[in-house]
Chain A
Amino acid sequence: MYNYSDFDEAFVRTRAAQFRAQVERRLDGSLTEDEFRPLRLMNGVYLQLHAYMLRVAIPYGTLRADQMRQLAHIAETYDKGYGHFTTRQNIQFNWPKLTDLPDIIDALADVQMHAIQTSGNTIRNVTTDAFAGAAADEVADPRPVAELIRQWSTDHAEFQFLPRKFKIAITGSAEDRAVIRAHDVGLELVKRGDEIGFKVLVGGGLGRTPMLAPVIREFLPKADLLPYLEAIVSTYNLMGRRDNKYKARIKITVFENGLDTFRAAVEEEFARIRPEFSGVDQEVLAGIEAQFAPPAFKNTPVEFYEKSLAVDPLFKAWATQNLAAHKVENHAIVTVSIKEHGATPGDASADQMRLLADLADRYGYGELRISHEQNVVLPHVAKADLPAIHAELLRAGLATANVGLLSDIIACPGMDYCALATARSIPVAQEIATHFKALGLEEEIGGIKIKISGCINACGHHHVGHIGILGLDRAGVENYQITLGGDAGPLAAIGERAGPGFAYDEVVPAIERILRAYLAIRAGREETFIETFRRLGPAPFKEALYGEARDAA
């Protein structure tokens, strides 16, 4: 895993000192609140409903055990004992005091972490596949490239005051577990013959105008990445709209100017600046790649694991749901669900964080990941150790066997924390989870993605949920719109609105009608909800929601 170079260390320490001074200069009046705002945002500090909120970057979702322990320490010392893992591979602390923030930033720097550019109109924390470096299906580990982009974009002089925020996601696998089509720039590592390069997508995004990113370059040689990204962002910096913040994202720039015009401007700038890059970035990249060399995998046999599967139904249920294929035969990727039925999706207590860190040390080569689906991943676990891990998770209440199932819901903070919210989202997620658990239908329904946002900004990815739920405010009353047929994977799609919205207490019954309709019409158990939707379209689900009378009206 990546360890800071002296350069990184000096940078982060200097930046922490600058932030401490900025807080002091705000307090003594040198900086107006207006001027302080973007500076605190560049360091991940938001002002929320009840308090400041600090968003800490977990670069490309990768954490060492000691870093996880430090997050637990921060949660206990400066917050209320928990943190919230987000869809952007960050962790948010909801209750820090402004005057404590410089100390928290120092505590992060002590373990090579920071909150730089997790907010603001700049290039944000680069996100990637939580299974990177472990997945059986990837062309190459995307994290070294993500680290290279982190370094290049950090404090980039030209790109700290862009028209709007800018999010880059990268996947090493065609399976795309990083939702690259919904990002400002999406990168997919691909092979042309023996050469590794990138497929480059530009102009995706969710929010109030959801768009899936088109391809701007089918194949970009690996060594051209930084100048090409620089050409894209610089073109956007000049061409992006600044008159209306709802039209300022690059998706609108690309859409309004047309992909061809945008591409021509990018390629022209790229041709001009390519020679400025001497190639040292590729040497830096090679050094980073060496640091991401896989651990020395244990050679333990799998018989004990197989025997446990046969005799322990609880273990088997968990293994069926929460494990994914590892590139090494006798290992598995473990997803620890942070979605216990009825709990807040993505919230983890300091004790849970510590336990996960310990498990990573004992069984997982010291490595952890945060997934965009708000779960924690142990990317490398020998199958022989799985029964022991499962037993410990059970004791800690972390063995919920629901990954990929209905209760593995993405939900944004919504009205419970967020200043922009128009409705609650966490309680909706909680009620859906507990309701279907009580009905005993969750396993029967099988794989499905439900995603919930508490306002039009779509932080909960509802547009790309198989079932999306968007909480709005209709004359002071919460009203929830349901979208159907969205998808975040390689077959990415924006869900379509089913029809009129529902009051808060009508949401769970509405979801139940949709899912009972699915159970009645699916071709068989192996046909998932989204497959049934793709085969039959929205009509049967709309009918289940509104009845035929409503359809005709």
Chain B
Amino acid sequence: MSVIVRDDGFHAEDWAGAVVELAPDTDAGQLAALTAGAEMVRVAFPAFSDGRGFTLGRRLRALGFTGRLRAAGHVIADQYAMARRSGFDEVEISDELAARQPEAQWKARADWQAHEYRARLRG
């Protein structure tokens, strides 16, 4: 089982439709083709130290993807703001991680839009 994290806290899985899965080593040149017509894209984060997923998420949004975008795997609460700022709508974590880092630790970063230098410089 897993837990879905959004700005308002923990949720149970509520997506039943088709999912396009992207591995961290997905060829950036193929992103548009792989996700054409998708409503939900799930980007895998095999280890929290592997930051490729953040770039994939940001590039998907830059390519115009407007569907649901999920970061799934080993993402820690301290990275929630990074995921949201990179274009993800939500994070999917294991029950074990959710127990160790309870909801309050994630909600503490629900203010991810505050204090962001890059957004301020990009305009």
Q: Which A residues form the contact surface with B (CB < 8 A)? A: 7, 10-11, 14-15, 18, 21-22, 25, 29-32, 35, 38-39, 121, 148, 151-152, 154-162, 226, 234, 237-238, 242, 269, 272-273, 276-281, 284
A21 touches B121 (CB 8 A): no
Nearest-neighbor residue (CB-CB) of A25 within chain B: B105
Q: For A269, what are the chain B residues with a Cβ–Cβ distance below 8 Å?
A: 59
B17-42 to A contact mask, C-beta < 8 Å, 1/0: 00000000000100000000000000
Q: B95 on the interface (CB 8 Å rule)?
A: no
Residues of B within 8 A of A234 (CB): 55, 58-59
Q: Tell me if A10 and B115 are in contact (CB < 8 A).
A: yes
Question: Are B48 and A159 in contact, CB atoms less than 8 angstroms apart?
Answer: no
Knowing A35-B48, A38-B49, A276-B62 touch, does A156 contact B78 (C-beta < 8 A)?
A: no
Output the least CB separation between A90 and chain B (Å): 20
* A159 contacts B51, C-beta separation under 8 Å: yes
Contact check, B118 vs A156: say whether CB atoms are below 8 A apart. yes
Q: Is B81 an interface residue (CB 8 A)?
A: yes
- Chain A residues within 8 Å of B81, by CB: 157
Question: Quick check: A154 and B123 within 8 Å, CB to CB?
Answer: no
Name the interface residues of B32-80: CB closer than 8 Å to any CB of A. 48-52, 54-56, 58-59, 62, 76, 78-79
**Beta-carbon contact of A238 and B123 below 8 Å:** no
Shortest Cβ distance from A230 into chain B, in angstroms?
8
Taking the complex as formed, is B110 at the interface, i.e. its CB lies under 8 A from any CB of chain A? no
Closest to B121 in A: A281
Asked whether A161 and B54 contact (CB < 8 A) given A22-B78, A121-B49, A277-B122, the answer is yes
The CA-CA distance from A15 to B109 in the complex, in Å, is: 12
Determine chain A's interface SS by DSSP, over half rule.
helix
Q: State A159–B81 Cα separation when bound (angstroms).
A: 13
Candidates B51, B117, B121; contact of A162 at CB < 8 Å = B51
* Known interface pairs A160-B51, A238-B28, A277-B123; 14 further A-B residue pairs with C-beta atoms within 8 A, sorted by A's residue number: A30-B101, A35-B48, A155-B115, A155-B117, A161-B50, A234-B59, A237-B52, A272-B62, A276-B62, A279-B123, A280-B120, A280-B121, A280-B123, A284-B120
19 interchain pairs (CB within 8 A)? A22-B78, A25-B105, A29-B100, A39-B78, A121-B49, A154-B117, A158-B58, A158-B82, A158-B86, A160-B79, A161-B51, A237-B52, A237-B54, A273-B62, A277-B121, A280-B121, A281-B122, A281-B123, A284-B120
Does A276 lie within 8 Å of B122, measured CB to CB?
yes
Q: Which of A11, A29, A237, A277 contacts B115 (CB 8 A)?
A: A11
Main secondary structure of the interface of B (DSSP, over half): helix
Chain A residues whose CB sits within 8 angstroms of the CB of B51 once the complex forms: 121, 158-162, 237
* A135 CA to B59 CA, complexed, in Å: 41
Q: How far is the CA of A430 from the CA of B95 in the complex (A)?
A: 56
Question: Which of chain B's residues 90-107 have a Cβ closer than 8 Å to chain A?
Answer: 100-102, 105
Give the residues in chain B near A281, CB-CB below 8 Å.
121-123
The 5 A-B residue pairs whose C-beta atoms are closest, nearest first, are: A161-B51, A278-B123, A280-B123, A157-B85, A157-B82
Which residues of B sit under 8 angstroms from A280, Cβ to Cβ? Answer: 120-123
Which B residues lie within 8 Å of A14 (CB)? 114-115
Contact A284 B121 (CB under 8 A): yes
The distance from the CB of B123 to the nearest CB of chain A, in whole angstroms, is 3
Residue B116 is within 8 A (CB to CB) of chain A in the complex = yes
Q: How far is the CA of A155 from the CA of B113 in the complex (A)?
A: 12
Query: Are B121 and A11 in touch, CB under 8 angstroms?
Result: no
> What are the residues of chain A within 8 A of B102 when measuring CB–CB?
30
